[in-house]
Structure 1
Amino acid sequence: MDEAGRDSRLGFEDAIFTLAPEGLGSAQSALGRTRLRTFITLRWLAVAGQTAAVLLVSFGLGFDMPLALCLAIIAASAWLNVFLSFAFPSQRLTRGWEAMLQLGFDTVQLAALIAATGGLSNPFLLLMLAPVTVAALSLSRLRASLIAVLALGLAALMPVLSLPLPWDRAGGTHLPILFQWGQFAALAVGVVFFTLSAARVSQDEARLVRALDAASVVMAREQKLSALGAMSAMTTHELGTPLATIHLVANELVRDLPPGDPHAEDIGLIAEQAERCRGILSAIREARDATDIVHARMPLDALVEEAAAPMKGLGVAVIVRAVPGEGAEDRPPVIGRSPEILHALGAFIENAVSFAASRVEATASWTADQVVITITDDGPGFSSEVLPKLGEPYISDRSEARLGGGDMGLGFFIAKTLIERTGGRIASRNRTPPRTGAVVQAVWPLAALLPRGLD
């Protein structure tokens, strides 16, 4: 298996997408889902600004300009807003192609207004960046690129399709063609820069939101399992007394029935089944994952043992060790049984087992004020490309389109998030040569792991 993919090989991701296949769509699916009201509001702001600028130039500065044409171009945006306001609910989420068409209209409308007032000579040419930037923030890469190409194409046509700058007819200076093409070059650079930078920021944000959603699903699952364990413990306690009474009474009835009584067999069956139920409840009561008041507090080494237990017997030796730090007590500290820590440690150990050649070690150490859990393996280690990025979501070199599997680059991020929610921090590195393998270390202040009510 590719070394660069080791961080994405955490098996619990399958459960994430099984639990919430619709709630965790791709990062791209989150783009283009902007409310219609947002586009309408931005367009009204543009209409107000354009109208004020045109009236100021015409009446305030006294320039001779095609006022009727300019107002007609502005009115087109206003009428579009009126139509959208009446045709659709303002809270409606736009589809990707709808948002692209609206931004495409805004780009054409703004280009027409600039072309009517000087084209590339107009200093307001840089406003063409506005719809391009909005497209980069809200649309997919392809659709945002189409808006950017449209803006540049319309700007390139302005030297032949634009009216002269209004100040030319008022005795102003005629700007040379070289300046106009310089304006176009500045616009082109701005379009490319803003498109790429805004798109990168938007996609990173969408990926982070999706990764946090995945972590929330994992946490909800762990809390649900923990609650079921507590409920099972309570159920076994409550049912134990009535079942013992039934078993006792049934045995007494069997002894008191005269020989040959036709009900003897039925009463004996009741006693047998009551005994069977008591055995089932006893097994549930003794299960380690029944989170009652006893299991809510457990030694540090027992917590690591529980996290590692599912990985034992899979062909790789999983060794759990408890090593006191300098000046610490020999006995491991008693800490709270945390579903977050169990899940995260289990994920790290599973990942180590997947890449180990023959051995994985989970070492718990402690001092008077700190707890450290270190997981090492003897596999190939982290690749040099992945190691600096560990802890970020979606750093796998696998395709993000594979939503149904676990190769989504979310594993390390989710486990790291769970550790940090408990007050810890994560460090990762490769083992020092000549030894090979990866090292993942979780560190907590001891006070963050103590159960409530424990001094």
Structure 2
Amino acid sequence: METIEADKGPQGPGLKGWRNLPRRSRGLSLRTLIILRWLAITGQSATIAVATLGFHFDLPLLACLTVIAASVAMNLQATRRLKRPDPPVADGGLTAAHLGFDILQLTLLLGLTGGLQNPFCLLLVAPVTVAAASLPARQAIVLGLMVLLATVGLFFWALPLPWQAGTELNLPALYRFGIGLALVTGVVFTAAYAWRVAADAEKLELALATTQDVLQREQRLAALGGLAAAAAHELGTPLATIQIVAKELKRAFPADAAAAEDAALILEQAERCRLILKRLSQRPEDGDALYDDVDLKALLEEVAAPHKGFDLDFRIVVRVADGSPPPRIKRMPEVIHGLSTLVENAADFATREVRLTAAVDAGWIEIEIADDGPGFSPDILPRLGEPYVTSRPQGKARRALAAQIAAAAMPKGARKPRRGRAAPEPEPTTEDLIAPSQGGMGLGFFIARTLLERSGGRVSVGTGAGPKGKPRGARVAIRWSRQALEPMRAGGPDAEVSQGGGETLTAPGSVTT
């Protein structure tokens, strides 16, 4: 079960966080690069046609068309490569090579038409922006340096800017320097912005994929009951046949014969199998009307049960506005896993107590999970809706587990002093048995929130209501409409409810009322 600070991610052991992971960028597909270059060729050709035919500018037409023809030839060659039986897949090196060619082609075209005086020099920003959004940092930086060198070259070398016949436009060197500086600044800031947006999108994509994996695992676990019942049904007939044949064999031999004893053993084991299959067929299965909903109090007990026993008191309260019995709600994997993750996190932070409070009124069901720990830190609280947000390295449950593993691995009697030997070292404390934390990716709260909101709930976080000057703890509240949680029955959502009532208080070792 994931918490806000996962020790190990799916990518490998010892993961320190997403910032230490290499970018998974794979570049652009060859088809996308071809389409982008055709668009550039069309724009360049149209611009030259308008400048020559419309404004009658004196352009070096042959040289410009040669540069554009080189880009056309590059695209035709890429198109032939794409039509092969084994076309190349999206690759960072291939994308960088094509973008580098586009930078060189555009630089030559600008050099023939005025250099930095040409307002279309702004187009040099485009290849670097695409590289920052789709390529690893090293390749994107190389393309950025190419644009920087191209800007310097266009400042010192370029043909005059084409203008109307009989008129020559010469801009001051300081103005051209300003244009070049603005171009470099635009490349840097635009590329940095594209890089940041791509990195955030990549984080979100990975987090959503992890959430989907968690949900699929929960659904598979929920489906195991159905598979067990189906297996029990299919095995029932051959098991009955075995019992009949075993009874016939037992009757066919004297009671003291070895074959009769074997037949009795077969009957005994067949009866044992029958009882096992009966229990399997009685387990909850997905889609069974008897098990597809659960009492609200029982649901809270279920999500809290795995986390009891770590020197914490769990206080479970169910309040119904009109005093009626608590409603039954649909047993959804999203709700169970989301609540379990939040309860586990509260147990890790809590000092003595974790409170689960459910409030039910005519239209809403709200579940609040609170602890008496230090609460959310101010720098974490505004970003709790984002993935990869973590606040501390190791929790109480993890410490207890480390201590149990270390104690189980210790040989029995290993610390008993032998005659003639020195006394053993002092017994290590729980803190001594804890291995250093591996850090975490901080996906637990994001996954829990995503699953709960997928079920129709609205999640809000804040601090508890403790006294000032003392830790007030953390509070997470989830609010659903009753239609989103309660099963639809013939007599309405409240036609079948549990026989419990009012308020339920539960703590380890206490009596449930």
Q: TM-score, normalised by structure 2?
A: 0.76
Task: Identify if the C-alpha distance between structure 1 residues 29 and 89 changes in structure 2 by more than 3 Å, giving closer, same or farther.
Answer: farther
Q: Is the 8 A contact 1:111 1:154 kept in 2?
A: yes
Q: Report 1:174-323 matches (<5 A).
A: 174-236=170-232, 239=235, 243=239, 250=246, 254=250, 257-285=253-281, 292-313=288-309, 315-317=310-312, 319-323=314-318
Relative to 1, partners in 2 of residues 1:305 and 1:334: Cα closer, same or farther, differing over 3 Å? same
Which residues of 2 match residues 14-33 of structure 1 at below 5 A? 29-33=23-27
CA separation of 1:395/1:168 partners in 2, compared to 1, >3 Å: closer, same or farther?
Answer: farther
Deviation at 1:242, TM superposition (A): 6.5
Report deviation, 1:344.
0.9
For 2:446, the equivalent position in structure 1 comes to: 413
Contact 1:133-1:198 at 8 Å conserved across structures: yes
Match of 1:429 in 2: 462
CA 393–180 in structure 1, closer or farther in 2 if over 3 Å, else same: same
Residues 13-412 of structure 1: matches in 2 within 5 Å? 29-89=23-83, 92-167=88-163, 170-236=166-232, 239=235, 243=239, 250=246, 254=250, 257-285=253-281, 292-313=288-309, 315-317=310-312, 319-329=314-324, 331-396=325-390, 407-412=440-445
Q: Verify the 8 A CA contact 1:32 1:139 in the aligned structure 2.
A: yes
Shifted more, 319-328 versus 63-72: the winner is 319-328
Q: Which stretch has the larger CA shift, 360-369 or 243-252?
A: 243-252
- For residue 368 of structure 2, give the secondary structure of its aligned residue in structure 1: strand
Letter in structure 2 aligned against 1:349: V
Deviations 1:258-299 (A, max 9, x none): 332231111111122113213423443565688743221210
SS at match of 1:8: coil
State whether structure 2 residue 502 is matched by structure 1 residue 443: no
Contact 1:236 1:285 in 2 (8 A): yes
Separation of aligned partners in 1, 2:261 and 2:156 = 105
Question: After the TM superposition, which of the residue ranges 250-259 and 358-367 deviates more from structure 2?
Answer: 250-259
Kindly provide the CA deviation profile for residues 311-346 of structure 1, in whole angstroms up to 9, marking residues without a partner as x.
223x242525132143342x2101111111111111
> How far off its partner does 1:155 sit?
0.7
Task: Select the structure that is richer in helix.
Answer: 1
Evaluate the alpha carbon distance shift between residue 327 and residue 262 of structure 1 in structure 2; reply closer, same or farther with a 3 A threshold.
closer
Any unmatched runs of 5+ in structure 2? 13-17, 394-437, 493-513
Query: Letter of the aligned partner of 2:461 in structure 1?
Result: S
8 Å CA contact 2:318–2:359 kept in 1: the answer is yes
Partner of 1:21: none
Distance 2:96 2:263 in 1: 76
- Please give the alpha-carbon distance, in whole angstroms, between the structure 1 residues aligned to 2:287 and 2:306: 18
Q: Deviations over 1:396-452 (max 9, x none)?
A: 4899xxxxx882222211111111111111111222442342222211111101124
Percent of matched pairs sharing the same residue: 42
TM-score (norm 1): 0.85
Moved more, 372-381 or 58-67: 58-67
Q: Aligned partners of 2:391 and 2:46: how far apart in 1?
A: 51
Distance (whole Å) between structure 2 residues aligned to residue 318 and residue 244 of structure 1: 49
Closer/same/farther in 2, CA of residues 217 and 322 from structure 1, 3 Å limit: same
Q: Deviations over 1:2-46 (max 9, x none)?
A: xxxx963258x86x669xxxxx9x986442432111111111111
1-structure distance, mates of 2:238, 2:302 = 32
Distance in 2 separating the partners of 1:98 and 1:398: 42
Provide the aligned C-alpha RMSD in A.
3.1
- CA distance in 1 between counterparts of 2:157 and 2:442 reads 50
Cα distance between partner residues in 2 of 1:159 and 1:304: 71
Amino acid in structure 1 at the alignment position of 2:312: A
> Unaligned stretches of 5+ in structure 1?
1-5, 19-23, 400-404
Query: In structure 1, what is the Cα distance between the partners aligned to 2:286 and 2:357?
Result: 25
Q: Which amino acid aligns with 1:58?
A: T
